[in-house]
């Protein structure tokens, strides 16, 4: 038998700052760029009741951890449940099991911030945020750790949602956060654009992007759904989190490819390649860049291990025991 740490969502909540998530995830992607293995998401769907079961995984050898994420969404409860197992990358023994609910927007936001940091202009100071849910909050809080923003314009189709989001973030963050009445109003003068939606169709017109804009798209990972239009993808230096997932579930890229606007070699590099210094990021101030963030085990393992170490030092969590396969198989 071996003991592992179980961390509830409440124990994970507030355990690390957005900046600490960003640094942990940045290190995870550096390891990916130097060869750390990671597998894209796999998704099983169910028709009755409608729902999906999703998982993905990664090994971060230098961190000394491996694991991933599994979550169920929909079904009869019509909600989502997140579980993150963490293993020792040398012994293979389980280290921890985390309820990933409160971690989710922070680790996803951190991946977006790492992409923004290596692809956005250094002097970027205005941001358009399309979406006003928990993932939008995570993205905004994380990106303010990598750029000194002055203004944020947020758009969501529901007026009450975007206005309450702006009011909340104005109290929490330094930059001015204002709700606007359309995605066009948000995007036209933005140095950085972040999409964090559940939309099936493009959420802004790519012709509105000014030269030098960076776009992080993180809300869709379905081959037939997309947040970005073909114009945006065609105009941009395109960087995914994992190259392997691009033609699997990166709907914006797939649509542009099917329309003949781009070819398969339109992928510039994986995020990890840029973080590790094996591929260039932004190469000019006029360049439009896109980070397509579909979610990977890289940010999950990096964040989960950081939280595990923090919880151990603060005496949080409860112990659970696991039996090795040899014991279970022999009955000893």
Interval 220-235: pLDDT, tens = 888 889 999 999 999 9
Task: Write the DSSP symbol of residue 210.
Answer: P
310 pLDDT exceeds 80? yes
Q: Return mean pLDDT, the chain.
A: 95
Residue 109 lies in a domain: no
Residue 242 lies in a domain: yes
Same-domain pairing of 285 and 309: no
303 pLDDT exceeds 90? yes
Same-domain pairing of 18 and 75: yes
Q: What are the backbone angles phi and psi of residue 162, rounded to the nearest 5°?
A: -70, -35
3-state secondary structure of 26: helix
| Each residue's pLDDT tens digit, 178-210 | 999 999 999 999 999 999 998 999 999 999 999
Percent of the chain with pLDDT over 90: 92
Per-residue pLDDT, averaged over 43-71, amounts to: 95
Residue 139 lies in a domain: yes
Q: What is the CATH number of the domain that holds 34?
A: 3.30.1780.10
Q: Specify whether the CB–CB gap between 129 and 152 falls below 8 A.
A: yes
- The count of domains in the chain is 2
pLDDT of residue 276: 98
332 pLDDT exceeds 70? no
Residue 114 lies in a domain: no
Helix, strand, coil distribution of the chain in percent, nearest 5: 35, 25, 35
CA distances from 83 to 12, 76, 316 (A): 12, 18, 18
Per-residue pLDDT, averaged over 275-281, amounts to: 98
Same-domain pairing of 82 and 155: no
Per-residue pLDDT, averaged over 17-32, amounts to: 98
Residue of higher predicted confidence among 222 and 321: 321
Residue 113 lies in a domain: no
Per-residue pLDDT, averaged over 12-23, amounts to: 96
Same-domain pairing of 309 and 286: no
Same-domain pairing of 10 and 49: yes
Q: What is the CATH number of the domain that holds 181?
A: 3.40.50.720
329 pLDDT exceeds 80? no
pLDDT of residue 78: 82
Same-domain pairing of 95 and 128: no
Q: Specify whether the CB–CB gap between 295 and 248 falls below 8 A.
A: no
Percent of the chain with pLDDT over 70: 99
Residue 205 lies in a domain: yes
Same-domain pairing of 271 and 311: no
Per-residue pLDDT, averaged over 103-132, amounts to: 97
pLDDT of residue 76: 87
| Each residue's pLDDT tens digit, 137-163 | 999 999 999 999 999 999 999 999 999
Grade residue 106 by pLDDT with cuts at 50, 70 and 90: very high
Same-domain pairing of 201 and 81: no
Residue of higher predicted confidence among 310 and 198: 310
pLDDT of residue 331: 59
Task: Tell how far CA 13 is from the center of its chain.
Answer: 17
Residue 42 lies in a domain: yes
Per-residue pLDDT, averaged over 28-54, amounts to: 95
Full domain range(s) for residue 138: 122-292
């Amino acid at each position: 038998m071996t003991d592992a740490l179980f961390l509830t969502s409440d124990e994970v909540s507030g355990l690390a700052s957005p900046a600490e998530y960003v640094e942990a995830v940045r290190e995870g992607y550096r390891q990916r760029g130097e060869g750390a293995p990671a597998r894209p998401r796999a998704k099983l769907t169910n028709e009755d009741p409608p729902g999906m079961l999703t998982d993905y995984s990664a090994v971060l050898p230098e961190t000394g951890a491996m694991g991933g994420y599994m979550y169920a969404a929909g079904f009869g409860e019509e909600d989502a449940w997140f579980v993150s197992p963490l293993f020792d990358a040398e012994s293979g023994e389980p280290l921890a099991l985390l309820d990933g609910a409160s971690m989710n927007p922070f680790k996803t936001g951190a991946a977006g911030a790492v992409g923004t940091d290596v692809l956005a202009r250094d002097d970027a100071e205005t941001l358009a945020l399309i979406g006003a849910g928990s993932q939008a909050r995570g993205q905004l809080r994380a990106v303010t750790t990598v750029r000194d923003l002055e203004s944020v314009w947020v758009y969501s189709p529901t007026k009450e949602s975007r206005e309450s989001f702006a009011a909340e973030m104005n109290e929490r963050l330094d930059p001015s956060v204002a709700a606007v009445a359309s995605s066009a109003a948000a995007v036209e003068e933005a140095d950085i654009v972040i999409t964090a939606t559940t939309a099936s169709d493009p959420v802004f017109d790519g012709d509105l992007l000014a030269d030098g804009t960076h776009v992080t798209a993180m809300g869709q990972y379905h081959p037939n759904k997309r947040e970005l239009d073909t114009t945006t993808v065609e105009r941009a230096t395109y960087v995914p989190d994992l190259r392997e997932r691009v033609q699997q579930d990166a709907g914006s890229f797939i649509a542009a490819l099917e329309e003949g606007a781009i070819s398969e070699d339109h992928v510039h590099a994986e995020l990890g390649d840029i973080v590790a210094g094996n591929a260039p990021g932004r190469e000019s101030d006029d360049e439009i860049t896109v980070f397509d963030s579909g979610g990977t085990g890289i940010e999950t393992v990096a964040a989960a291990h950081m939280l595990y170490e923090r919880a151990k030092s603060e005496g949080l969590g409860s112990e659970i025991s696991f039996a090795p396969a040899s014991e279970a198989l022999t009955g000893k």
